[in-house]
Structure 1
Amino acid sequence: MKRLLIVILIAAGLWSGYWFVGAQRVKSGFADWFEARRGEAWAAEYSALSVQGFPNRFDTTFTDLELADPATGWAWQVPFFQILALSYQPNHVIAIWPDQQLVATPTDKYDISSAKMQASVVTGKNSNQALDRANLVADSLQITRRDHDATTMTALHLAVRRDEVQTGLYRFALTADDLAPSSAFRKLVDRSDRLPRTLSAFSADMQVSFDRPWDLSAVENSRPQPRRIDVTLAEAKWGDLELALAGELEIDDRGRPKGRLTVKARNWREILQIAVSSETISQGFADQLESGLAMISGLAGNPKTLDIPLDFRRDLVFLGPLPIGPAPLLRLR
């Protein structure tokens, strides 16, 4: 019995030593990372950094955290942020956000509030810590652009998984429950106020191939750039309006897409009238479109549903043989 007690005490002492050494390494590793960002002219500050969780966890808490990259114009401010990890599995962490945060982009600033926002994140075990998979959940999410009211949803779910063979290929699955667009967006697309406050469905399932995996260099240096997008299905239902999207795009080094996306529109005549009400198109043009689209939908066998191919080529978007606008630039800053 005495020998067993001695063994237990020695094991406990060794484990305690491992935890305290590991906690110090975690803390100094984060501190060094912030110092390196300051050396690159970032704003990288916090008022306190602590590591707790003895004996089985390394729970890191940042207080009054601020990160800003002047080269890209992105910034993030939170009163606290937590990264929780098991001491024997440090590449699998739980990230916890506060109920209020500020995100600034190159074009605007957004206040984000939620009842809960957290993610389970698994990275590779090498020094670059490439993202392998992640699951993010946010409840009662509100995203408010400065001087505008909020876009809200009761829940947001995002799942990301990296392909085991193609290291830059990720699958994304997104759903937003009870998505309610801001009044500014509603006025843009629905000036006659014909649509309900919330969408009954909003989801997307797609694969995106990037030129390299998402790892620490994506934050420290530059973002991986998309090279191919395969949309299995993206779907939105708003009142009587239903839109579904599927297709494939190849993206060149400039960020210009090439390929085809097919849009399935149900109750498309109502969509045309909303476009007229929002002054996106004129009534005369809508009448011409309706005549042509009615013929197409009739040939397809369902006069209420349209399958519309959108072709991306020569830096333009084509509806059949007609160019309808410039292709979007798909580059991440």
Structure 2
Amino acid sequence: MPAVEPGHHHLLWRETGVPQKRSVAENPKRGLVGHAGPPSWAPVDTRSSAGERASSMRFILIITAVLALAFGGWWVWGSRAVDARLADLTQELREAGWRVEYETEGTGGFPYRFDLDLRDLELVSPDGAFGWQSPRMRVVAQSYQPNRLIVAADETHRVSIPGQDLDIAVTGPRASGAVEIGETLPVREFTFEAADLRVASSLGWESGAGALLAALRPNGGVNGYDAYARLDEVALPEAWRALDPSGALPATIARAEIDADLTYDAPLALSGGAARLERVALDRFAIDWGAVSVAGDGRLDIDAQGRPSGELVFEITGWERLLDLAAQAGVPVAQSSLLRGALGGMAEDGVLTAPIAFEDGAMRLGFIPLGEAPRLR
């Protein structure tokens, strides 16, 4: 072997392909140039790496346990808050004169949901004129997003209005919404949808709709909300259809739609005092009923007694047929030849533009009185 110049022995390590490591073997001389016999390698000590893995695993388990305890604690606190909110709301309504009855076992769904199941519900207004009953209603919120609610209602309800009770059956009623976290839980958005709506009155008439959609959300104004509602395939009561024995109009209204901006004196909220409606800006009102179609818009201001003032303007195609039906139904104003003549003079190309004015609690079409205006509070 040729002599190795001092400082150049590392060249031989590169030529033989051996990694340049110092103290790999137990004998520091083994593996040097000039050593006789095959190279000998000592086993690598893995005890330290195994210990590091065990320490890492223990750390992960500890963190997981801490997070689980924190999540469970959050659910316990949140479930108690839900029960407290329900109790507060119930007390507020009862103090305001409402009759509020229901059965519940409190909030469940640990640990992923806040699940509130209410049974045998009954709600009656202070004057007894309005009421609602239902066998069951379920309110669900994910524990990681408690301000977003899903409401699954029963398919049967009873609604009481002045003079009659309405038994309502509906398929798949479902509502969802969101509130702001705060003292009164202001409403951020709300949506309700259902299918196969059927209404039976204690007075004997029946009606229904193929689908129902309603939605509400803030519109960016002060205490302002964008409200939308739509009914498809609205079935008219039998008594109404009897007024049209020739079948000039379909038995169902294909579509009824309303889109409006509502302004209140305070934010709509799940708790606290009830907000009062102050203004209605009707952006779109539409009815599609065979040869009859109605489109309207306008604006109404609501006073402290709930009386509207302002004007709504409707464009009506097929208005003569509507007037005939109203006259057959016994509506006195519809039987007036003066009204028919006035409307004929206002119509153009078969389309009647009808501005309805609201003032001092009454409605009128031009100079023709239409009766008392409905109260909107």
Range class of TM-score, shorter chain:
0.7 to 0.9
Distance in 2 between the 1:266 and 1:212 partners?
39
The aligned residue for residue 374 of structure 2 is 328
Could you tell me whether the CA contact under 8 Å between 1:148 and 1:184 is conserved in 2? no
User: Among 281, 289, 297, which residue is 1:230 paired with?
Assistant: 281
Distance 1:21-1:224 versus aligned 2 partners, 3 A rule: closer
Distance 1:28-1:132 versus aligned 2 partners, 3 A rule: closer
Structure 1 residue 201 corresponds to structure 2 residue 243: no
The aligned residue for residue 100 of structure 2 is 44
- Name the stretch that deviates more: 134-143 or 208-217: 208-217
Distance 1:305-1:32 versus aligned 2 partners, 3 A rule: closer
The aligned residue for residue 123 of structure 1 is 179
Percent of aligned pairs with the same residue? Answer: 28
The CA deviation at 1:174 is: 0.8
Gaps (5+ residues) in structure 1?
A: none
Distance 1:121-1:318 versus aligned 2 partners, 3 A rule: same
Q: Give CA-to-partner distance per residue, 1:234-264, whole Å, 9 cap, x none.
A: 1112221112221111222222222111111
Distance 1:25-1:261 versus aligned 2 partners, 3 A rule: closer
Could you tell me whether the CA contact under 8 Å between 2:185 and 2:271 is conserved in 1? no
Structure 1 residue 183 corresponds to structure 2 residue 233: no
The aligned residue for residue 7 of structure 1 is 63
Q: TM-score, normalised by structure 1?
A: 0.86
Structure 1 residue 144 corresponds to structure 2 residue 200: yes
Distance in 2 between the 1:199 and 1:284 partners?
24
Distance in 2 between the 1:191 and 1:24 partners?
60
Distance in 2 between the 1:111 and 1:139 partners?
16
The CA deviation at 1:231 is: 0.9
Structure 1 residue 312 corresponds to structure 2 residue 358: yes
Could you tell me whether the CA contact under 8 Å between 2:179 and 2:188 is conserved in 1? yes
Distance in 1 between the 2:368 and 2:97 partners?
47
Structure with bigger RCO (C-alpha 8 Å, 6+ apart): 1
Could you tell me whether the CA contact under 8 Å between 2:333 and 2:370 is conserved in 1? no
- Name the stretch that deviates more: 17-26 or 249-258: 17-26
| Counterpart mapping for 1:17-32 below 5 A | 17-32=73-88
| Counterpart mapping for 1:65-214 below 5 A | 65-71=121-127, 73-167=129-223, 169-186=224-241, 190=244, 194-214=248-268
Q: Which amino acid aligns with 2:306?
A: G
Structure 1 residue 276 corresponds to structure 2 residue 327: yes
The CA deviation at 1:133 is: 1.2
Distance in 1 between the 2:106 and 2:279 partners?
41
The aligned residue for residue 24 of structure 2 is none
Gaps (5+ residues) in structure 2?
A: 1-56
Distance in 2 between the 1:49 and 1:305 partners?
58
Q: Which amino acid aligns with 1:307?
A: T
Which of the pair has more CA radius of gyration?
2
Distance in 2 between the 1:76 and 1:36 partners?
18
The aligned residue for residue 294 of structure 1 is 344
